[in-house]
Every structure is written in C-alpha cells, then in structure tokens.
Structure 1
Amino acid sequence: MLTLTANDVRLGARATDWQDALTQAAQDLEQAGRTATAYRDGMMARERQSSTVLGNGIAIPHGTPESREAVLATGIRLLQFPDGVTWHDGARVHVLVAIAAQSDEHLEILRHLTRVLDKPGLAGKLARATDAEELVALLSKAPAVAKCDSETLCLGVDATTPNELALVAAARLQSLHCVDTEFLASIIGQPLVELGQGFWLTHHTVGARRPTLSLATPKRTSPGLRGVFCLAGHGDECHDLLDRMDHFLASGEPIDGLNAEAVLARLSGEAADAVTARVTLLNTHGLHARPAKQLVQEARRHNAAIRIRLQEGDGSAVSATSLTRVIGLGARRGQTLLLSATGDEARQAIHALTRAIEDGLGETVSPLRQAEQPSAEPQAQPAEPLADDQPVKAVAASPGLALAPAFVMRQPVLDYSASAADGEHEIQRLNRALDDSDGQLRSLIRQAEGGEAAPILSVHVEMLQDEDLYQAALEAINEGGSAEAGWWQAIDTAARAQEALADRLLAERAADLRDVGRRVLANLCGVAMPTPPDTPYVLVADDLGPSDVARLDTTRVRGLVTARGGATSHSAILARALGLPAVVGAGERILTVADGANLVVDGERGCIVPNPGPERCEKIRRRLQQLDDLQAQAHDRRHQPATTRDGHTIEVCANLGNTAHTPDAVDRGADGVGLLRTEFIFMAHPEAPDLATQVREYRHAFDALNGLPLVARTLDVGGDKPLDYWPLPQEDNPFLGMRGIRLSLTRPDILETQVRALLTAAGDRPLRIMFPMVKDVEEFRAARAIVSRVQAEVAASDVQVGVMIEVPSCALLASTLAPEVDFFSVGTNDLTQYTLAIDRGHGQLSAESDGLHPSVLRLIRMTVEAAHAHDRWVGVCGELASDPQAIPVLVGLEVDELSVTSRRVPLVKACIRGLSLENARRQAEAALSLATAAEVRDALEAW
C-alpha cells in the first residue's frame, strides 16, 4: 500500500492558480523519477472529468487509466500551499497529495484520507504546518472509529435489573476487545443514569480502547426497564455515538420485538416509517470518488432526507448528500449498501438511488455470479434430488431440533485470467489480498474471543503466513500465472497432499487450507461471499469452514446441515458451542435442496427431512413446542441442584474459554467452572503474560463465581496450536508430540508464573488446578512439585490439584494416580481420539469417533472406580457430557460432575432430574456389555 513519508513532502509552495499547482505537482513526481512528462496531461484530463478535491483543504490529483503508461514507478508527492489555491470547483486547497499509481493503489490512499477529513480545524492546521513530519502526522493518524453495530447489541437478555444488563453489555464490549477488564471493574457499582422511557446509561473512560456503544435489552421489558446503553470512550471521541443515542431516544419509537437489524437501523438514525432498500455494490473498485459523486448528485435531486450505511461496516449511517462521508464508508464490490429516506420524495429517491447503484453510478459493472464451487475446482456432476418428506440418515453433530426454510450456501464463481504479463503487479495484488484476508480473520478472532472459533481461526492466520505457500504462489506467478491462478495452485497442491496422507497430521487441515485459500481468492477477485436471508433459515453447505461458522448470525440461523464432515470436525464443535442443531455427512444430494424449501434438522437422531408433509410438520412443531417448554422449565429451575429422582446429586459446571463469560455461566445456573481453558490469555498477548496480567484475568472469574469452585486447566498448547513467542520444531504428528503438560514442563518458569497467578487470584476461594495430557504419575509429580513450592509462598486455603484423563495410559494407571491427586477430569474428546486411533477431524472416519464406544466407557469406569476407592471425585468435561444419550450412562458410571457449555447447563440439569440412579446404572451396564458405539446408541434409544 502507498504510504506518506516526510521525504515526499514539499512545504511552503506558491501557485498562481490551480493549473500552476497541478503542473508543480506533476514536475515533482517527474523529478522524483516516478513519472514521465506526459503524466501531467493525464492529471489535467482527470480534472476535466471531475474535481479531485476531497474537502477540508485536501486534493488528490492523479492521472487517468490511459495515462498509466507514463507512470515509471508508483509513488506520492505532497505539496503544501500555505496561502491556499482556489480550485476549478471553487474549493480552497492547502495540500495536494499527488499520486502516480500503476494500478489502483490510490484508492486505498483515498479511503484513508476521507477518514481524517472530520478532524476539527484540519484545513487551518495543514496551512500552518512548518514541519514535514507534522504534516504527515496530520494526514496519517485517523480519528478512532466509533463502533455501534450488530456485534454490540445484546437483545433479549435474561435479566431483570439495569445493573445486570449493564454488566452484560460491558462484557460484550470486552469480548469485542473494545474495552479491557479495568472498564468492567470501573462500572461495577457505578450508579446508572436514567435516560427516561425505560432506558439507562452507564459510561466510563477507564479501560476504553475504542469509542463504542452497546445496547442490552431484557427478555421481558417493563415501563421502567426497556434497555441499558453502555458507552465506552472519551467525550471528544463519542460525539457520533451520543448523537445516535439522542436521536434514538428522541424518536420514541418502540423496539420491543424487533430483531438486531431493525434495532440497529433505529440506532443508525433510520426512522421506523422510512422507506428503505438494500442494494449490492457492483463497481470493480468500490465506492471511490467518481461513483460516489454520482450517488451524491442523484441524492441531491430529491426532496428527501437520505441516509446510507454499509451492512458490513461499523453500523454508522451517513448522509447520502455528503461526498466525503459516502467515500468514507469504504464500500467495496460485493458489499451491501442499506438506504433509507424520509420526506415527500422518499420513495422516488430510494427507487432512483437503487437504480443508479445497480447501473454502476457512471461505470460499467458486471453482476456477481453464484455457483456450486469456485472456478478453480472441478465441478461435480449433479446429484439426484432427494425425495420429499423422506428422512435422510446422517451424522448427529449437535443436539437440537429445527424446522425452517433452507439456504444452500453455494460458493461464488471466481472468474479470473490464468495468466498475466506483469508479474510484479500480480505479486503486489497478492500481497494486498493476503493483508486484507489477515485483517478479516483477526477481526473474526476478536469477535469470537474466548469461544471455540478463536483458536481455530488463529490457525488460519498462521496458514496465511506460511512461507512455503507464499513461495509456491510466487513461483507460479513468475512463470506467467496471474495472482489468482498462482495462489490457488499453491493452495490446491498443499490441500491435495494433505488429503493423500494415510495418517492425518492436523484435523481438517485440507479443508482449512481451502477455506483460507477461498478467502484470499475472493479478495483478489473483489467478490463477496454469499449472503444469507434476513429471515430464519437452515444453513446447508457442502462443508463449513470455521470462519463460515464464526460469521453466523445466531438470531436467524436455526440449524446446520453439511454434505461432508464428521461429528468432531471444527464446524461441528463450533455448532455445539453456539447451541445450533447440526447434522453433518449428509451426502452431496443434500445440495439439491431448493433455497426456501422447508427442512427438518434433528441433531439428536442424526437425520434430515426435506420438504416435510403437513402431518410431519405438525409433529415437529409439537416437538419444538415441547422443547421450548422444557427449556423454559429448565431455565426457571437452573439454579436448583441436579438431583436424580432417588436423591443422587451431580454437579453441573461450565466449560469456559474466557473469564469474561463467567457471569453468564453463573446466571445460567452452573455450579462452578469445570474447565477454564487458560490458553486464551496466552494467545491474546505477543509474549507470555506476566503475573499481574494473569492475576487480573483470573480474579475476574473468581469474583463472578462468588464462592463457587473454579477448575483451571494449565496452559494447553503445542504443535497443533502453537504460540508465536514459543516456537516449536515441525512435528510429524503434533497430537502425539510436545503439547500439554509435557510442553509446560520444558518451561517451568511459565508454568510457575501461571500457578502463582491462579493461587494469588483465588485467595480463600475454591481453586482446582488440573494438568492436561498427563500420561503417568511421573509427569504429575513434576507438575505438582511446582504447585507445592508456590503454595508455600502464596496463601490459598482451598486448593485441589488433579489431572485430565485424556491419554489412555492415564486411565489405565488411574489406580496409581488416585492416591496422589485430588480429582480426575475426563476429557472425552481427546480420550476417544487416542483410544480409537481416529483423528476426530478426519473426513471419512470422524463419524466413528464416538465417546459412547464401549472401550471409552470402560476407561471412564476404571477412572471412577480408582478415584472413589481413594475418596477422589471425577468430572467429565468433554463433548460427551452434554450428549443427551450419554448423560444417563455417565450418571450410571457414577461420575460426580459434568462440565458443559454454558448454554447447555439448564438442560443437562433437567435431564439429570428426570433420571433415577438405579435406572442409570442399568443403562451403563448395558452399554458396557456391547461391542460398538452404534450398538450402544441403538440400545439407549430403545431404552
């Protein structure tokens, strides 16, 4: 990307008129070796087309596409005119940013400059600047972009007081990395400001990283409580957010029952009675100056107040009559513009603007095209359609039931030339696409912080930085290939190599490679990914990458169905974390379902039904109502213990990937935290977090738990999920290599700091420390010695130390470990994988990686028997703990605790309350007597 530096600046220029100023700019570019003499004519021709003045004293003269032959090397020259120059459109200009661009690099400069135009007094500061560095700084440092979008909305929260809603809203801002833990600490106990109409406000500047506005609304509104705004940031940064909040309150329009998009529209200044439309931008280079000017001119022709915002943006709507504001949206090809208008000619204005945008705003445009696969991959032969109202058996991936219209996500056609003459230009294009993809993935990671998606998407970022992939793409480009063809050749070659391996190295490595590859390819082609409908739907796809699942709007998607994949694939794990019913491995025929056709998804039985008949629909609706009633009852009793009908109590705790989610877990009735994945704090920092940083994070969890126990797993990273600051050598099979406790013991200083932080944060509150990937008592003793040494220095009165049963040897040797540990926690995901020798992400075998396999159940029984013989307790923290068919078996095996995702806590408790211990024991014995997981599931379903 082009950047401004002090070496590009000439201060104190003088000009008789705008032509003279433009001539000087062209001469400066020529003297710097950037252009030939003929480039000046191109700059003049560009001005005859339309003015290049942006506003606030800035113009960006550049040549026409035809004059690019006169560009010798891409570059910039910046000329300051302290006395100003009157431009041909009447504007007063103090700074010329003259651009010589061989392709379209100037568009990014343009987008950046539009973001600084709103700086107060910028024109005067530009004119008075006496130092080149000062001038560059004025144009380079954009003001903080305020955020208020669908991500910051928390609608229908199960809360009854303003303070509860305030904490939920603040926690959402922290999860988006807009604030830190100091912000949360600052608003706790701070009085809320009553705004009227049932709305409240909490605001603080401490710990605010970005000006942000969140709105949390209760599930059940009342005249005194309709919502709480949470505002982060300093006053001078929050003007736009305050204005939006004021307009929202002044409108007095009700928001009860509105979905996230409708509420966001109100916050964006769109009136309830506004005429609205959405239109896809088709311009090759997005909404840059020329098409933006056409849009503004069209908007000004109508007697209407017209606003425009970007569906994929930060939620702010701008006036459609402001050129700089429209350019500042930074809209790209394939993105969606949301238009709204009020006034006498609102309907005509929206119609005219929609038509103008569809026609290209003065530019020739081509439509986006959809297809089954990107053009870089061979197209499969059409599959035979599925029969209506006939169940199709597949793999149960995430429990639940759904009935909704199908949305079949088909990858867009990515048309591109296979060859290119200018290799250097193609490499520049590839580098920009890689940078864009990196930014998109990191944004998704911030959105998913603490959830299952974040570490998986982090692997995608690592793939983007893979030097071998990059070099392979460069080789193809240097041999005459285009950036698109070179990149996809590198991706396809690497993915095919992974698919050909008999022993998979990483779960879904090939699928993840293609997911990353398509993202970069789409950015190269300027094509947006498919957009789901605004109404509820079931998402159907060939397969889903983690980034696809991370982007899902859970307020609309009702279930997931994939043609490929297994029950423990990344997408299935994420579906369970999101609480979405999911069925995978349904076969290619599922892709023949028509968009909008009703589809039943049964995530417990593992089946789908396309176009169900009236009788089946009625049965499904009754089941859904029963499930809703069950969930409502479970929610109402969520804080009651999970006690069987004959008086046996099981603790039900929450699995957490981030301390910020602790209040939600407690609110959902969790009896504590059964698994805190502490690696989140290590992945969030460029180097190992120090003691103070970790103490702050862990205290947040202990404070929210209010005396409930916290089970913290020590750092669990390794070859398959590395840390940037802890490089490891390449391993043939990282699942069997340096990871978990065996890796931590190679850096005892990091482990000791973590243990010290946990003990310090706990104080007299119940703390359970457990070590991952322990294979035998020797490893446990080495780790336990570190805890004992730190305990002698840090006062913590209620501490237990245990191990995760993930490695079969640990279960087989449980009787030797039980006398020395305080507890066991069974991680059924890895235990199943290692016991059955099946990579849980393997495309063909993952469906057979079932924790209800009798061999896995026998290892759990051995663990429980060894633990109870020494008065130790046993928990289960893997996916099996929330499987409705497995819960009776685990209760019958007499485990003491189940730890599940927070949203599953109420239902798991309800399931346990419906059992009797004796009946559960009989189910467990029956399961242990069978030979396969399929037999176990059939027997349990018949039970």
Structure 2
Amino acid sequence: MSSTSRFLCAPLRGVVVPLGEVPDPAFAEGALGPGVAIDPLDETLHAPFDGEVIQCARTAHALTLRDDHGHEWLLHIGIDTVDLGGEGFELLVATGDRVSVGDPLCRFDVDGLSRRAKALVTPIVVTNASDLALETLVKPGTIVDKGEVLLQWQAPVPAAEIAGREVSTQASARGEATIAAAHGLHARPASRLRSIAQKHDVELRLGRDDEAGKDRSDVDGASVASLSALLNLGLIRGDRVLVTARGAAAQAAVDAAVMLLETPEHDAGRADVCAGPSVAPAAEATPGTLNGLSASPGLAVGPLVRYRAALPRVADTADDPERERRALAAAVAEVDADLERSMRAAGSRGQQAEADIFEAHRAWLDDPDLRASAESKIAEGASAGRAWYLALETEIQRLRGSGNALLAGRADDLHDLQRQVMQRFATHDAVATTGLEGAILVAREMAPSQFVEVAGQIGGLCLAGGGSTSHVSILARTRGLPCLVAMGDALLEASGERVCLDADRGRLELAPDERRLAAVEAEQARQRQRSEADLAVAFEPVTMRDGRHLHVAANIASGAEAQGALDAGADGVGLMRSEFLFLARQTAPDLAEQQAEYRAAVEAMAGRPVVVRLLDIGADKQLPYLALPATPNPALGERGARLWQAHPEMFDTQLDALLEAGRGLPVCEDGLTRLRLMVPMIADVGELRWVRRRLATRAAALGIERLPSLGAMVEVPTAALCAGTLAGEADFLSIGTNDLTQYALAMDREVASLAARSDVLHPGVLRLIALCLEGAGGRCPVAVCGTAAGDPLAGALLAAMGVDELSVEPARVAVVKATLRRLDAEALAAQLPALLALDDAAAVREALATMLASSAEAATPASGDATTSTDTTTRS
C-alpha cells in the first residue's frame, strides 16, 4: 500500500478554531476524534467533500457524512445545541443522500442560536479513525471562505491503483483539471501553485491539455516557479490542463494542485479589499456611472488617469557584473522580507485577500525567468537597478498588450515590484509623475506618502478599495479634494477622456454629455461663490440661532498644516495626529524632531489651543520598527496606554518632547494650557490615571512644574458609558466617532463592504454619545474630532446634542461654521428622542435631512440668500 493526499474543504465561512479550544471536553480532549472547528460567519452548512449522509440528528444540529475512503465525519453545529430540540435548524438533506462538495446540508438561525446556545463554534471531527494524522492548512484565527481547503491527510492507495499508473508516485505523477476560477489562472491562484510545489518539495508544471485522456507521460508545460510563464499560458475558466510533478511527494502535490484549480474562487468573501458598496447601497449604478462612498465632497471634471507610482532613478551601467548580481539578490531578498511581513500582518487582521496579493507579489519576485532576464542584462553591462527595470518592463509591456483585461491589470502589480527593488539602488528621488494636472486619479489603494506626492496636481481621486476613515481619505478632506472610495474592481477597468466626479452624490460619470458638463460648471461656480462668502466670515466666532456658542477647530497631521488651519479660520487645533510623524519611515522620530514639530504647531496657531493626540498605533496603522504581537484582531490588541506600557521608551520620548514644546507657554482663556495632550483608546479611568502619573514623573525629571492639560478620547463604548468617572480625572474629553462607531457596531472601519453601514448616525451610537455628554455633565468640555464632525448632518446633530467643539479638516472649517450659524440647535435637540427611536442610521439620516431642510427654509431671508441652503452631502 502507498498513500496519497486527501482534503476536506471548509463547510461554511468562519473563523478557524483549534479543536482544543472548543468549549466542550468531548471535542477539546479528542474523545470523539481528531479534527478542527469553525466559528460561523454565515448561516448554511455545506458538504466539505464528496460523500454520503449516514446520520442526521433528530434535533437537526449535527450530521455525519462518510467520505469516499470510508472515513466518517461528524459536523456538529454549536455546543449544547441538542438542548434546543431542533429549533433554529432546517435540514436540507436526509440519511442516505449522496452529496458533492459544496452542497447545502443545513440552514441555521445564527442570531437566535447565539442568544440561546453555549457557543456557535462548529467542530468537524473524524469519528472512526482516531489515529488519522490531520494537517490543518489554515492558521487558527484566520477567516476561511466556504469551499476553501481546510484539512489534509494521507489516505492509503490500493496496490492495484499504484500498479496502473504509468509513472511511479515516488518519481513523478500527473493529473488533469478544469480551470474553475471565474477569472482563469491569474496571479493569486498561480502563486498558490508555487506554494504547493514548495511545500511538497517537488517540481510542478502546468500545460494545456488539448488532448486530455490520451496516453501522456511527458512532464511539460510551464513551471509553477515562474508566474510569468504560467500567465503566458492564458488559461481561462473551462480550459483543461495537465498537471505534472516530480519528487518524492509528487502525487500529493498533484492532488493539491488539481483541488486548487477545480475549486471556484469565492469572491464574495473577499470584499474586505476590493469590493465596495455605493453610497446608497440599495441603488444600482446607472449605465456609464460607477458608485462609491464619499470620503471627501466636491465636484471635479477631468481625464481619468490610472495611478502609477514614479520610478526612482538608478545608475545605467556598472563594471563588475558579479557584484551587481550579488547586489540584486540582496535587494530582492529585502523586498521579499518586507512583503512577507506585510502578508503576515494582513493575515493576522483577517484581511485574507490583501494577504493573497502580497503572496502573489512574492511569487513574482521569486520568478526564475525574470531573475534570469535581469542577470542577462547585468552580463551585458547594465547596473543591477537598470537590469531589474529592463527585465520587468518587458513583462509589463507584454501583459499590457495581451488583450486580457485581467492580465493587463497585473502589470500594475509588476510595476510596483519594479519600483520597490529599484528603490534599493536609487541615486536620486523618484521622478515626479507628469500628466496629472486636473486629472481624476484612479487607484486600487494609495499610501499617504503617494497621495501627498500628487495631491497638488490632481482634480479628484477614486479608489477601488479603502474606507472613509482611511488615512488617504483624511488627507483628501484636509485638502478639500473630491474623493470616492470603496468603488470596487470595475473602477480599475474604466476609462474616459472627460469624466465627472460628483463626490457629493457618490458617483463617477464616465461619459457626461455637454449639458451635464455645463450644469457641473455652473454648480462649481456657485460653490466657489459660497466658499468665498463662508471664508469671509470664517474668523468670526460661531453663534447658533438659539444663541449658543460653539468652537470649530481643525484636525491636522503636522506642524506645517497648522498654518493652513489658522488661515482657514479654525478656533484651534482639536486633533493633531502625532502618528503621522512616526509613519512611513524606518526609525522613530527623536526627541528634537518631535519637539520642533509640536512647537511649530503651537506657534503657528498664534495663541489658540493645540491638542496633540499621543501616539495611536495598531490595527490599520503599523510601524516597521515596532514589532507588535500577532493577534487575530489587531483593532482589539495592544492600543493606546496598553501599548505604551509594553514600549515605555518610545512613550517617554514623546512625553518629553511635548513637555519641552509646551514649557513656559501661557494658559488660554478657558484656563487650560495652550498645548494639550489627548490619550487615545482609553477604556477606563485607571488607564488615564496611569498616563497622568507617567506625565508627572517625566515633568519632574525635566524640572517642569506645570503639567499640560490632559484629556481622554472617547472611542471605546466603556469610555462613553463611564464618562462621569472620566470627567472627574480628565481636563477635557474628545469623542472619536470613527472608532466609537466601529466598536459599537462591530464593523471594521477598514472593510470596504461595510463602509456604507458603519454610520455614526446609528441610533445605538448616538445613544452612547448622549450618555457621554450626560456623564460629563458640564464638568469638563466635550469635543468631537472624528469624521462625523465635518458631516453636515451628523455635525449639526452633535451640536444640538450639546458638544462644545467640532474639530474638522481645515478645508471644512469655513463651511461648518457657516452651517452652524444657520442652525437652531435648541429646536433640533427637541427632536432627538424621535430620532433615537428610529430603526437604523439610514432612517435617522433621512429624517434629519428633512428636519434641517425645513429649518433652513424657515430661516431663509425673503431675498433668498443662496448661502443659506443646507448642505446635505452624503456621509463622508
């Protein structure tokens, strides 16, 4: 007897849980057999393999299936669910039924069961083979999609089957497959084939099997080690391929490759990176229009241009080929290490699609054909950087000219690798991208540094992924640049010589007619007039129609932006995001650099208060020089004071820099210091007290007697619920609506498919804010510095609820002030109970827009002053 690999697919989408962590000893201690468990994220259990249903529990909570090799597998939905007597379960099969992998077996009510069952975690165990050596192919904590290969084991192969093979499995093996992926053999599945070959230590090749079924023992086709060779095959869905392998584990590798190729990709589960809803999810985009989520309002018209990061300049020639080969190998290894770290970080966040992209990039980087091409250029006298450029440029142009839209899109991935390796040999900074003046720029994602490079040239920005609270979205709002995000992959295939970006309504019009363009130009002129009128009075204080006063401050990312905030009419800086000093660099900023940055902001604001948020790292914000512990959900890991306790040196340096920057400054009219410190991610008053004690210790060491004012951010629901206690310790509170919404709704702010539903105007989030204001009870001022402060609807409601300050992007200061002056906050506050009684955020938005429109109409002077119209821009 010999053996071959067998596989079990995930029966539903969910989080992988080791069997030992299941809260039931019978499963956790292996009494029922080996296996794995999944914590469900959908409501239907599917067959994990081809087989037969041999038992269905009377209460429908469990089934047993026998696979084609005689192994019997128990699928048990939840723990102690037998006690529910079948309530909440609907069996879709019966004993004796034959099922294929992916067939639905049972539907269950996730919401109802989660309230009544001990746990929903679903064990999958083999009950008649306790010695079966199972290998879990997915790390615990990872989210798997239905149908994704989950377990592998070695099953015996009958001797007759071995004898019937043309080639011994000890030397080589072969198999045939039909490409199942909707997009054919593209970069991600190709990179997984490479991983299969590496795991089994075999030479694995793929070739077109135009004569499938005929006797063939030759090992031909393209090596999976070369992504470029695989993509050159041009395989699409439905194509037949021959899979061949050489090596001791050849058959296992072929089996795994065939399974991969014949398993359709489950794109629905990958919406965390590239899929995104429109601004109004229920509405379909009209022909010639793409919808997105408004990250920064505004109108723009211009050519649609796909973003390509500029390439650095490198030396053209070199006189020592061997040295250049070694240098290229070292540079490639450095980039590969960076990609591996990014891949692991994305995987730990549960963003598997993003991790898959990094894995595909690593496969490109290891492509022997590309490396050989570069080395041949080196042999001809090219420098390592120039050789790498030429090798990849040839492949980039081939992909772009392939006529296949999917392959053409991969040219951008290769261009990014071209840039990353060339950066290691840069003799000058990258040449600025040209031809972007007034363009509507299109990209899948952008780093903040990339955005800053082009922001002064472009007319607008459209991203396939992202969310309205990402760093690029924040920067776009800071500059007043129209921006849509979460537009989906269709954006990357769009084109247009003169398109209209209407970020107010969340849409990109690819072919507007002359009538539409004329209307846009007229609206842009009206907006300019309104902006000029608003700016003319931006430096005046805000008094609302009911006589109440409110401050409007600015959110900034650096000392240099403080001057822009002052020029925009800001009453101060309500949020200086100090993490931008730490991002996009290889080492932390030192004491002198930080002190200069904080002091520059204070001096630029000419006596107005400046609130600096202490370093806020974690979740989507990672530092290459700060190794954070791996965790399945980094948004819930070491954040704020919890992180600082683990890394006190970095925290102390920031405190020292802030203390020195504020040394000797006078207090403001409100009795608080001019430079103020704000602590993120506070969960309870004990964390804030720890920071105050640390601050006092550092001040004493520096000989500083007066401590800067210390505030807490209200981003965690417990902070809102315990605001009364916090207000007794804090000098001020500031509500961070982005994270408060994320944690209250259990919706990751970085998941594009949830972006339209992650709305601060959800009645539950509004109740938390109301409790925070009630708890503070006037004992300390309460500000709002999240995205909601600049949202015309949410900002108005927050003002009516009683916040003392709204802190917005500088470009929004003037319009927010003008809007607030027209607001009767007292009248709107009277409507708060009715708004909180509504079902969801969409209902609140609709009702609130109607209320504000009616109020604006009632307040409009008889002359019909155009500046009194209420801005009801879609949520940004």
**Are 1:677 and 2:577 matched, yes or no?**
yes
Q: Secondary structure at the match of 2:303?
A: strand
Q: Per-residue deviation at 1:609? A: 3.4
**Are 1:929 and 2:831 matched, yes or no?**
no
CA distance in 2 between counterparts of 1:751 and 1:551 reads 27
What code does the residue aligned with 2:691 have? Answer: A
Partner of 1:561: 462
**Are 1:883 and 2:785 matched, yes or no?**
no
CA distance in 1 between counterparts of 2:578 and 2:619 reads 17
Asked if the contact 1:852/1:886 (under 8 Å) is kept, the reply is yes
CA distance in 2 between counterparts of 1:646 and 1:565 reads 39
Distance 1:588 1:760, change over 3 A: closer
Q: Per-residue deviation at 1:893? A: 1.5
Deviations 1:416-471 (A, max 9, x none): xxxxxx999988546557889999xxxxxxxxxxxxxxxxxxxxxxx99x999998
Deviations 1:122-168 (A, max 9, x none): xxxxxxxxxxxxxxxxxxxxxxxxxxxxxxxxxxxxxxxxxxxxxxx
Partner of 2:552: 652
Q: Per-residue deviation at 1:573? A: 3.7
Asked if the contact 1:540/1:561 (under 8 Å) is kept, the reply is yes
* 1:332-343 equivalence runs, <5 A: none
**Are 1:905 and 2:807 matched, yes or no?**
no
Asked if the contact 2:477/2:811 (under 8 Å) is kept, the reply is no
What code does the residue aligned with 1:558 have? Answer: G
* 1:319-338 equivalence runs, <5 A: none
Partner of 1:782: 690
CA distance in 2 between counterparts of 1:664 and 1:545 reads 24
Q: Per-residue deviation at 1:936? A: 2.3
Deviations 1:468-526 (A, max 9, x none): 999866765499987899x99xxxxxxxxxxxxxxxxxxxxxxx999876411467799
Partner of 2:485: 584
**Are 1:665 and 2:562 matched, yes or no?**
no
Q: Secondary structure at the match of 1:912?
A: helix
**Are 1:848 and 2:748 matched, yes or no?**
no
2:508 corresponds, among 608, 615, 623, to 608
CA distance in 1 between counterparts of 2:291 and 2:359 reads 37
Deviations 1:881-930 (A, max 9, x none): 11122211111121111112222222222221221212442565454232
1:735 corresponds, among 612, 625, 635, to 635
Deviations 1:102-122 (A, max 9, x none): xxxxxxxxxxxxxxxxxxxxx
How well do the aligned residues superpose, as a CA RMSD in angstroms? Answer: 4.6
Asked if the contact 2:699/2:705 (under 8 Å) is kept, the reply is yes
What code does the residue aligned with 1:803 have? Answer: A
2:747 corresponds, among 838, 859, 862, to 838
Equivalences, count: 506
* 1:715-864 equivalence runs, <5 A: 715-718=615-618, 720-723=620-623, 725-762=625-662, 763-765=664-666, 766-790=674-698, 794-795=703-704, 797=706, 799-864=708-773
CA distance in 2 between counterparts of 1:516 and 1:437 reads 14
Q: Per-residue deviation at 1:805? A: 0.9
Distance 1:914 1:610, change over 3 A: farther
CA distance in 2 between counterparts of 1:671 and 1:651 reads 6
CA distance in 1 between counterparts of 2:561 and 2:833 reads 37
**Are 1:892 and 2:800 matched, yes or no?**
yes
Asked if the contact 2:288/2:511 (under 8 Å) is kept, the reply is no
Deviations 1:604-655 (A, max 9, x none): 3323334334544443333222211111112222211122123222211121
Q: Secondary structure at the match of 2:740?
A: helix
**Are 1:708 and 2:605 matched, yes or no?**
no
Q: Per-residue deviation at 1:747? A: 3.9
CA distance in 2 between counterparts of 1:478 and 1:714 reads 48
**Are 1:624 and 2:532 matched, yes or no?**
no
* 1:22-37 equivalence runs, <5 A: none
Higher relative contact order, structure no. (Cα contacts within 8 Å, ≥ 6 residues apart): 2
Q: Secondary structure at the match of 1:915?
A: coil
Q: Per-residue deviation at 1:696? A: 3.3
CA distance in 1 between counterparts of 2:491 and 2:550 reads 40
What code does the residue aligned with 2:821 have? Answer: R
Distance 1:578 1:379, change over 3 A: farther
CA distance in 2 between counterparts of 1:871 and 1:380 reads 65
What code does the residue aligned with 1:780 have? Answer: L
2:439 corresponds, among 523, 531, 537, to 537
Q: Per-residue deviation at 1:722? A: 4.3
CA distance in 2 between counterparts of 1:474 and 1:594 reads 30
Partner of 1:520: 417
2:537 corresponds, among 637, 661, 664, to 637
- Shifted more, 677-686 versus 889-898: the winner is 677-686
Deviations 1:823-882 (A, max 9, x none): 111111221222222221213223322222222222111111111x25211111111111
* 1:211-250 equivalence runs, <5 A: none
Asked if the contact 2:594/2:657 (under 8 Å) is kept, the reply is yes
What code does the residue aligned with 1:536 have? Answer: G
* 1:476-515 equivalence runs, <5 A: 477=368
Asked if the contact 2:307/2:441 (under 8 Å) is kept, the reply is no
Asked if the contact 1:710/1:767 (under 8 Å) is kept, the reply is yes
Distance 1:375 1:928, change over 3 A: farther
Distance 1:903 1:547, change over 3 A: closer
Distance 1:400 1:408, change over 3 A: same
- Aligned identity (percent) is 36
Q: Secondary structure at the match of 2:846?
A: helix
Deviations 1:245-297 (A, max 9, x none): xxxxxxxxxxxxxxxxxxxxxxxxxxxxxxxxxxxxxxxxxxxxxxxxxxxxx
Partner of 1:314: none
Q: Per-residue deviation at 1:674? A: 0.9
Partner of 2:774: 865
1:409 corresponds, among 278, 286, 306, to 306
CA distance in 2 between counterparts of 1:375 and 1:572 reads 37
Partner of 1:143: none
